[in-house]
């Protein structure tokens, strides 16, 4: 019997991905079904339903679950099961009008058949309400808000059968992992406590420090990075994977670390997304989720530790997984090492000139946003910021870009709010 945490809301994983004869039969049937185009976000959600990452969901949410999720983190159709972010699919009104309740449709992302769905409900949502509840803003400049506002007019709900994992198993071979595969890897190593480290950036020294702390208190760390789509200016997955590999291979004990990828697009929902990360990391078998500064945030829409405090606002039995909250981390020139607000007594902010030279002060605050800005502008990166192997890979990537996206710094990236 497994000693890992159980999947969310179920004694076992509930993958909806077909194979063998079932897959062949469904592919044959899908060729004759009405086509419903889906976005990359919806496709990523569908794949997570397929591999059991969204256990125990059986498809895209209906209106009552959408509203219960937005307003109370609850799914009425699942006896009030905790769920933090709506998992929905939308269609243009003319197409939705042509679909009958009970009809089966084929879900296509571009020219790829991804799955089928039996439509049990059609409904419209208040997009403004969803944005305010999930993102805490309806500012169209927020990438998650933009994603919701660009959804088609009508939501379609119903159970799905998943037929493809898209390009992820081939493009990220050896990295992309299903929950059942992760659980087997943990059990094979004899791990019972596993801390997940969420990544959408290459690992700078603060990320590495968080992972090392987690290894001290758990059996191992699961470095779990998003390999779906990001906003413009973020570092693409293939470059990020290469940089993380370089760091892990030299600076981590291999028996205490597993690196893997998952297929979602980033929502940038801050605290709510931290809760979603917790739900599906529990399905992957993780007992803890590392929650550091500005987890899943963007700009200055969230406080630096809102993603930690939200775990105190949900029922204590909502999740079997527990957060591992960690304070601001930085390199301290006085301490001569990585440190945190809880350990370092030196409070002055370090000053680095335009040539990357240290000019005085103690705390050098590190962030993925600041790293991307320095690299995109061709400015030197202080040696204390990240390992040279990582910087070399990122420099090669930025040097290859013909057109660079401007990276704007926010208060949480610079430490303006706290030193």
- Which residues are marked as active site? 200-201
Q: What is the DSSP letter of 364?
A: E
Per-residue burial over 243-279, b = 16 or more CB atoms within 10 Å of its CB, e = otherwise? bbbbbbeebbeeebbbbbbbbbbbbbbbbbbbbbbbb
Q: In what order do the strands lie in the sheet with 363-365?
A: 337-340, 329-332, 363-365
**Residue 395 contacts residue 375 (beta carbons within 8 Å):** yes
**Residue 7 contacts residue 52 (beta carbons within 8 Å):** yes
Backbone phi, psi, residue 283, to 5°: -65, -30
Whether the link from the prior residue into 304 is cis, omega within 30° of 0, is no
For residue 112, the SS3 value is strand
Residues 6+ apart with CB under 8 A from 113: 27, 30, 106, 107, 163, 164
């Amino acid at each position: 019997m497994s000693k890992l945490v159980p999947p969310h809301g179920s004694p076992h994983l509930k993958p909806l991905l077909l194979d063998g004869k079932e897959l062949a039969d469904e592919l044959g049937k899908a060729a004759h079904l009405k086509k419903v185009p889906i976005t990359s976000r919806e496709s990523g959600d569908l794949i997570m339903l397929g591999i059991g990452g969204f256990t125990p969901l059986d498809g895209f949410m209906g209106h009552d679950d959408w509203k219960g999720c937005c307003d109370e983190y609850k799914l009425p159709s699942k006896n009030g099961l905790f769920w933090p972010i709506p998992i929905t699919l939308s269609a243009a009104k003319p197409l939705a009008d042509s679909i009958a309740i009970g009809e089966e449709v084929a879900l296509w992302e571009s020219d790829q058949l991804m799955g089928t769905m039996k439509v049990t409900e059609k409904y419209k949502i208040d997009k403004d309400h969803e944005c305010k509840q999930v993102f805490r803003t309806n500012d169209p400049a927020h990438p998650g808000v933009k994603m919701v506002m660009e959804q088609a007019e009508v939501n379609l709900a119903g159970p799905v059968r998943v037929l493809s994992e898209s390009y992820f198993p081939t493009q990220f071979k050896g990295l992309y992992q299903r929950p059942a595969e992760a659980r087997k890897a943990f059990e094979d190593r004899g791990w019972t406590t596993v801390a997940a480290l969420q990544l959408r950036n290459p690992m700078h020294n603060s990320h590495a420090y968080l992972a090392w702390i987690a290894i001290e208190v758990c059996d191992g760390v699961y470095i779990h990075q998003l390999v779906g789509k990001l906003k413009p200016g973020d570092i693409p997955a293939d470059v990020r994977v290469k940089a993380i590999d370089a760091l892990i291979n030299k600076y981590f004990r291999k028996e205490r670390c597993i690196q893997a990828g998952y297929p979602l697009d980033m929502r940038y929902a801050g605290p709510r997304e931290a809760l979603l990360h917790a739900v599906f990391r529990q399905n992957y078998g993780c007992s803890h989720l590392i929650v550091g500064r500005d987890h899943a945030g963007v700009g200055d829409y969230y406080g630096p530790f809102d993603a930690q405090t939200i775990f105190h606002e949900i029922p204590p039995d909502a999740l079997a997984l527990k957060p591992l909250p960690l304070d601001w981390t930085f390199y301290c020139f006085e301490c001569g090492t990585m440190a945190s607000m809880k350990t370092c007594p030196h409070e002055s902010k370090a000053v680095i000139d335009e040539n990357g030279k240290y000019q005085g002060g103690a705390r050098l605050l590190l962030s993925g946003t600041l790293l991307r800005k320095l690299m995109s502008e061709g400015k030197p990166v202080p040696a204390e910021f990240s390992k040279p192997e990582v910087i070399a890979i990122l420099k090669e990537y930025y040097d290859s870009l013909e057109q660079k996206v401007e990276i704007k710094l926010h208060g949480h990236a610079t430490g303006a709010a706290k030193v």
